[in-house]
Amino acid sequence: MRGKKILCAALACVTVASLCACGSETTSEGQTHFSVYVNSSGAEPTEDNKILAKIKNELGYDYDFEYSVSGHEDERIGVMMSSGDYPDIIEISDNKLIQAGALVPLDEYINEEDTPNLYKFLEPISKKARYSGDGHVYALPNYGGPIYGEDNTPDYWGPAFWIQKRVLAEYGYPEIKTLDQYFEIIERYVADHPETNGISNIGYEILATTGFEWVLTTAPNYLNGNPNDGDVVVDKETYEAKIYANSDFAKNYFKKLNEAYTKGIIDPECFTQNKDQYISKIASGRVIGMFDQHWVFQPGEQSLTAQGMDECTYVPLPITFDESIEPWYRVEEQMNINQGLAISINCEDPEAAVKMLDTFMSEEWQKIFQWGIEGEDYMVDENGRYYRTEEQREQQKDQIWPAKNKLNAFFAAMPKITGTYSDGNGSSASLQPEEFIASLKDYDKNFLASYGKENWMDFLNELKPNPKYFPAWNIDLVDTSDADYANQKLTDTSIRNLPQIVMSGDNFESAWSAYCSEIDTINIKAYEDRINEEIQWRIANW
């Protein structure tokens, strides 16, 4: 699910020189200073950011932050590796820096006595958090850690076939269960309503740009009733993994796209657009449906909400090829393995960095990061329940306000409490049931009521236990190995061929056959062998 990118020396950002030059240090004023790389292009905090000021005043920490340039994360990591200049704290998204020997083993600094908050977080997931190469923990997972208390998650951020709410409302809130039903209702809506705000509607949109190729390639997997194992299907009894790119069920999906493209239902620009253009189209309200993961297109949906176009926001549908197939879109919480915050070998005081992160994992600071400042960003009622006023809710939606009042990008990289605090309040406003209901627009309240559901998660399949190895998509293929090379060749082959297959019209069969023949030339066995080896390791060690 990742793309190789050419190393670009031009990525030496404005902050790089200063960031690499200064490591952790205690200044003459008693402040402890860390350089931090955040793998996010989110809004940078302002100089007068109130959370940074509170950290500095109360804890004595300050920072030099560097934020990645969207789409260039691999290049920036490559610059670090080639120069040996690493910031003290790094958000990682794969094993490159682990394999390069650039990170400090965190398990050597985390224990129940000295770092109780991190110990509580790490202990239940320690087997999964350990790098299979040497058994050490190098990253504190940013998402998918243990659930604290109760899980009241009302929103769904994973994969689904999404459709605008107005489409379902238009035709009496039907149950859409199959791929055919999904495209039928989209085609009907576009015929009945060809435009939004004077611009032609797009029936089905596709994101297939570098780094998001999986949006195009993985959809058939879910339609066939499988959970997210990336580019492979894992047999539920034998646990044997095989690719499905050239499977009959993948062919069925792309045949449907071929038919929809021929009818003009699919955006003709979909295979040449970048992510920003994709998000812009969603933000216009023109895109009726798409397969994607919610976190990817969220910025476009947030824009729709800000414009008051609630009817053009989306609901997830766990559709399959036919009603005999049980959907498996929603899965139990899964940990980001070897992803999250790490400490580099250039950090002069890794113990101090770990203790800082332990402090940040305390309930006191988690509430600050997730809820904000009591009395300013949220209120507490007579029963001790946290809530926001309407004014405070509107602040959270503002595009500019968070840069001064939140620390979103840095916090997103951190380990975090998810669930409920010891006082019973949700770990964030989005996980506080009362706050979720209060924050709903009237349109969404009526929409949920029309389906007899309480939240957006209710549209998905019922939870079932994850397989012990799950998920296969985050298995380390080891850079430059035969497995890694085969995986990249498969991705390249798919991205080169699948757009042509979708656009091939009456030549679909010959185009599909040529694609399968090209896959046959790839050393798929090396890829599958590595996946299967790691699946068996996980079953034995997790």
Query: DSSP readout, 287-351?
Result: EEEEEEEHHHHHHHHHHHHHTT-GGGSEEEE--BSSTTSPP--S-S----TT-EEEEBTT-S-HH
**Domain assignment present for 99:** yes
CATH value at residue 309: 3.40.190.10
Neighbours of 463 (CB within 10 A): 13
Same-domain status, 345 and 407: yes
Average pLDDT, integer, range 55-60: 97
Altogether, the residues listed in the chain come to a count of: 542
List, in sequence order, the alpha helices (H) in 453-507: 482-502
Domain count, the chain: 3
The predicted pLDDT at position 21 comes to 38
Same-domain status, 116 and 14: yes
**Residue 58, SS3 per DSSP:** helix
**Domain assignment present for 346:** yes
Residue 479 pLDDT > 90, yes or no?
no
Spatial distance between the Cα atoms of 82 and 49, rounded to a whole number of angstroms: 33
The predicted pLDDT at position 389 comes to 96
The predicted pLDDT at position 26 comes to 57
Same-domain status, 350 and 328: no
The predicted pLDDT at position 133 comes to 85
Q: Over the stretch 247-256, which tens digit does the pLDDT of each residue have?
A: 999 999 999 9
Same-domain status, 140 and 13: yes
Residue 10 pLDDT > 70, yes or no?
no
As a dihedral over the C-alpha atoms of residue 161, residue 164, residue 170, residue 176, rounded to 10 degrees, the angle is: 10
**Domain assignment present for 467:** no
**Residue 111, SS3 per DSSP:** coil
Tokens of 127: 């087997």
Cβ contact 175:451 at 8 Å: no
Confidence band for 9, pLDDT divided at 50, 70 and 90: very low
The predicted pLDDT at position 12 comes to 33
- Beta bridge pairs of residue 243: 232
The predicted pLDDT at position 25 comes to 62
**Domain assignment present for 441:** no
As a dihedral over the C-alpha atoms of residue 13, residue 18, residue 19, residue 21, rounded to 10 degrees, the angle is: 130
Range of the structural domain that residue 145 is part of? 9-151+335-436
Q: Where are the beta strands (DSSP E) in 185-324?
A: 195-196, 199-200, 202-205, 232-234, 241-243, 287-293, 314-317
Spatial distance between the Cα atoms of 315 and 450, rounded to a whole number of angstroms: 13
Spatial distance between the Cα atoms of 324 and 423, rounded to a whole number of angstroms: 44
**Domain assignment present for 527:** yes
Domain C-terminal end among 459, 490, 506: 459
What's the half-sphere exposure (Cβ side, CA atoms, 13 Å) at 55? Answer: 25
Spatial distance between the Cα atoms of 66 and 45, rounded to a whole number of angstroms: 11
Spatial distance between the Cα atoms of 352 and 60, rounded to a whole number of angstroms: 12
Q: How far is CA 60 from CA 26, 33, 180, 346, in A?
A: 9, 8, 59, 21
The predicted pLDDT at position 338 comes to 82
Average pLDDT, integer, range 428-441: 94
Q: What percent of the chain has pLDDT over 90?
A: 85
Q: Over the stretch 139-157, which tens digit does the pLDDT of each residue have?
A: 999 998 999 999 999 999 9
Q: Over the stretch 281-326, which tens digit does the pLDDT of each residue have?
A: 999 999 999 999 999 999 999 999 989 999 999 999 999 999 999 9
pTM (predicted TM-score): 0.84
Same-domain status, 196 and 314: yes
- Beta bridge pairs of residue 67: 38
The predicted pLDDT at position 29 comes to 56
Cβ contact 103:342 at 8 Å: yes
Q: Which conformational region is residue 149 in: left (phi greater than 0), alpha (psi within -120 to 50 degrees), or beta?
A: left
**Domain assignment present for 442:** no
Confidence band for 462, pLDDT divided at 50, 70 and 90: very high
Average pLDDT, integer, range 124-133: 91
Q: Over the stretch 487-499, which tens digit does the pLDDT of each residue have?
A: 999 999 999 999 9
**Domain assignment present for 77:** yes
The predicted pLDDT at position 20 comes to 39
Q: Over the stretch 168-226, which tens digit does the pLDDT of each residue have?
A: 999 999 999 999 999 999 999 999 999 999 999 999 999 999 889 999 999 999 999 99
Residue 71 pLDDT > 60, yes or no?
yes
Same-domain status, 363 and 389: yes
Confidence band for 8, pLDDT divided at 50, 70 and 90: very low
Same-domain status, 295 and 365: no
Same-domain status, 328 and 255: yes
Same-domain status, 482 and 495: yes
Residue 27 pLDDT > 60, yes or no?
no
Residue 19 pLDDT > 70, yes or no?
no
Same-domain status, 188 and 264: yes
Same-domain status, 177 and 325: yes
**Domain assignment present for 255:** yes
**Residue 37, SS3 per DSSP:** strand
Same-domain status, 142 and 260: no
Q: How far is CA 161 from CA 181, 236, 361, 457, in A?
A: 12, 24, 35, 14
Q: Over the stretch 505-523, which tens digit does the pLDDT of each residue have?
A: 999 999 999 999 999 999 9
The predicted pLDDT at position 39 comes to 87
Residue 43 pLDDT > 90, yes or no?
no
Q: Of the candidates 241, 230, 275, 223, which has an alpha carbon nearest to the alpha carbon of residue 70?
A: 275
Domain C-terminal end among 459, 493, 523: 459
Is residue 418 within a helix (H) or strand (E), and if so which, with residue range? Answer: strand 418-419
